[in-house]
Structure 1
Amino acid sequence: MSRKQYSLRRTYIGRLPQGADLLEGITKICKEENIKIGKITAIGAVKKAVISFYDQIEKKYHNIELNQEMEIVSCIGNISLLNGQPFVHCHIVLADNQGRCFGGHLMLGTEVFACELIIEEFEGEPIERVYDEASGLNLWHPALILME
């Protein structure tokens, strides 16, 4: 087994405009800059959000709509390739006005109030997502499994 190593190539630091869709905005930047492998972190607030939970038995996502103002406590993700195109995979934790947290897979429909974003692009061989029969997900290529 050989483990792949990557180094930092470029870092993008900025914010998304109010009203933007969080996932769509991040994806647009990655496609415009042709980022094939990287890391995403973001903080801020949203006007409303759509997150999802992956049901491991049914092998499908179930969306949860949060129609309220919330703080982005944490948003972290990665960038790889799916069908040759940059693909953004992010998880997000959001807090309501009582400090209760909700988390899951970031989905389209999450409207930005304010968002400070860092995208780190890595130097190295792009990672392609492939369908994994056992999980029902498009995961990083099996060659990237770190241990046997």
Structure 2
Amino acid sequence: MRTALRLEPGDDLRRRLEALTVERGWPAAFVIAGIGSLRITALRLAEATEPLQLEAPVEILSLCGSLSLAGAHLHMSIADAQGRVLGGHVAAGCEVRTTVELLVEVLEDLRFERMADARTGYPELRITPR
């Protein structure tokens, strides 16, 4: 099942998507595409332990990732007012400025979980039949 969503000004991008996943009971889903704008951005850059926080208007150029009842794994690229582009892992704290428009594919016959992976040191995606 494919669905379109719009997040509202003031929404926390990551937290709102995680809440919608729980509210709608999506066992496995992917954000296929996302565009919009943010007032505050929180991105964890490659190999960083804490997110970088930017408090300036930015445009979302791309947003994609997985959603499950265990949480979200989202990546995003943004552009600032000078056209500089930055990207990384979406952290909590990204505040919608005007809108975020999303296309989500719900995979109703699968279940996504996050399991500790000794090789990477991160909780990694585990895909099982529903």
Q: Same fold (TM over 0.5)?
A: yes
Number of residue pairs matched?
126
CA contact (8 A) 1:93 1:101 kept: yes
* Worse-superposed segment, 89-98 or 11-20: 11-20
Per the alignment, in what secondary structure is the counterpart of residue 111 of structure 2? coil
Larger radius of gyration: 1
% of aligned pairs identical?
A: 28
**C-alpha spacing 1:61/1:17, structure 2 compared with 1 (3 Å):** same
Q: What runs of 5+ residues in structure 1 fail to find an aligned partner?
A: 1-9, 144-148
Match status 1:97 vs 2:85: no
CA apart distance, 1:36: 1.1
**Counterpart of 2:71?**
87
Per the alignment, in what secondary structure is the counterpart of residue 107 of structure 2? strand
CA apart distance, 1:86: 3.7
Moved over 3 A (4+): none
Equivalents in 1 of 2:112, 2:5: separation in Å? 25
Equivalents in 1 of 2:25, 2:66: separation in Å? 14
Match status 1:75 vs 2:63: yes
Match status 1:112 vs 2:104: no
> Which of these residues, 125, 142, 147, is aligned with residue 110 of structure 2?
125
Equivalents in 2 of 1:21, 1:76: separation in Å? 16
Q: What runs of 5+ residues in structure 2 fail to find an aligned partner?
A: none
> Which of these residues, 3, 16, 25, is aligned with residue 25 of structure 1?
16
Instruction: Provide TM-score, normalisation by structure 1.
Output: 0.78
Per the alignment, in what secondary structure is the counterpart of residue 28 of structure 1? helix
Per-residue CA distance 1:4-38 (angstroms, 9 max, x = gap)? xxxxxx22212111111000111111110011111
Instruction: Provide TM-score, normalisation by structure 2.
Output: 0.89
CA contact (8 A) 1:54 1:62 kept: no
Equivalents in 1 of 2:46, 2:77: separation in Å? 15
**Counterpart of 1:14?**
5
Equivalents in 2 of 1:25, 1:125: separation in Å? 22
Q: Which amino acid aligns with 1:133?
A: A
RMSD: 1.7
CA apart distance, 1:130: 0.7
Per the alignment, in what secondary structure is the counterpart of residue 15 of structure 2? helix
